[in-house]
Amino acid sequence: MIPITRPIKRKAIKPGVAGFLFTTPWLLGFLIFTAGPMLTSLYLSFTKYDLSTMKWIGTTNYQRLFTEDPLFWKSLQVTIAYAILTVPLGIAASLALALLLNQKVRGQRFFRTVFYLPSIVPAVASSLLWMWIFNSDYGILNWALGLFGWSGIEWLADEKYTLYAFAAMSLWGAGGGRMVIFLAGLQGISETYYEAARIDGASPWQQFRSVTIPLLSPVIFFNLILGVIGAFQVFTQAYIMTGGGPNNATLFYALNLFRNAFEYFKLGKASAMAWVLFVILLIITAIQFWGSKRWVHYEGEAK
């Protein structure tokens, strides 16, 4: 007798479940490595935790940060000044560079590669390089300034100049990444807009102001958001080059946070600092999104 075999019924997986299954690795990674530590640090920010004992102290860490810690305010001030200095400057410089590299000239690919290279140099290596450049006695920068009669500027030792030195360095390091994004944005602008503008008699400046800038505004907005977040997270350069000095002139927020956590073992305070930074960035980003409605134009968007 031949046994009767019934066909195995495979239960169809609903598309939603399949999607969920596919995203499970990411979700697990997010929960374990991002959301978990974030919530832990939120809890820690209400404790006094020094790696050996943990004690719930409510909002004391936050209160002390705002009312009793001059270095918290100093580091916030340094970081905000750095962001104000570097973000607009960085966006303008990388946009200018992208415009230049968008021209059809011989060796275009070579120049694009060369200008992108600094952004793949590790921060530690570029910090050491810039320490040479900024050396007040033997550095190439002071040598060049000396040709115009300026000399002896202590770029990394005089608190009047250190932030400008860091800003110059940021243009070199982060400019390449932003430049590539701008370049991609520029190449996405159809030539027909420029042709139409030219037919209407627009000058190159008018074309830039009335065609390039509006159509590139989503990319500028993207770079603005990332630039502000990046500026608030500066750490390696200050850690390597100045250690926060001179006289705390380069004590960036992230460096101060790191010191509290891993040098003084004030992990509760450091967690509170991390959450304050998170809230600051959240507010700044929200303001940027709110303001973007006035100046960011998306193609096909009805206004």
Q: Which residues contact other proteins (rule: CB under 8 A)? A: 48-53, 57, 60-61, 64, 131-132, 135-138, 154, 157-158, 243, 245-248, 259, 262-266, 268-269
Nearer to other proteins, 61 or 94 (CB): 61
Read out DSSP for 43-67? HHTTEEE-SS-EEE-TTHHHHHHHH
Q: Which CB sits closer to other proteins, 131 or 296?
A: 131
Intra-chain end-to-end CA distance of the chain, in Å: 77
Shortest CB 251 distance to other proteins, Å: 9
Query: From the CB of 182, what's the least distance to other proteins, in Å?
Result: 35
Using the structure block, give the residue that is written with the tokens 């020094």: 50
Task: Write down the least CB distance from residue 55 to other proteins, Å.
Answer: 9
Q: Which is nearer to other proteins, 61 or 79 (CB)?
A: 61
Whether the Cβ atoms of residue 175 and residue 94 lie closer than 8 Å to each other? yes
> In whole angstroms, what is the distance from residue 19 CA to residue 13 CA?
10
Of the two residues 52 and 103, which places its CB atom closer to other proteins in the complex?
A: 52
Query: Rounded CA gap, 38 and 108, in Å?
Result: 45
Q: Which is nearer to other proteins, 143 or 289 (CB)?
A: 143
> Tokens representing 303?
């206004």
Q: Which is nearer to other proteins, 90 or 139 (CB)?
A: 139
Min separation Cβ 36 and other proteins, Å: 14
Cis? peptide before 3, omega within 30° of 0: no
> Closest CB to other proteins among 51 and 279?
51
Half-sphere exposure of residue 136: CA atoms within 13 angstroms, side-chain side: 11
Tokens of 195: 């042709």
Closest separation between CB of residue 237 and other proteins, Å?
A: 14
Residue 261: CB minimum distance to other proteins, A:
9
Question: Contacts for 69-72 with beta carbons within 8 Å, 24 or more apart?
Answer: 71/248, 71/251, 71/256, 72/256, 72/273
Give me the numbers of helices (H) and strands (E) for the chain, helices first please: 14, 2
> C-beta of 38: minimal distance to other proteins in Å?
18
Smallest separation (angstroms) from other proteins to the CB of 52: 4
List the structure tokens of 217.
């505004």
* Residues with Cβ within 8 Å of residue 177, at least 6 apart in sequence: 116, 119
Which one, 52 or 192, has the nearer CB to other proteins?
52
Residues whose CB is less than 8 angstroms from the CB of residue 137 and which lie 6 or more positions away in sequence, other chains included: none
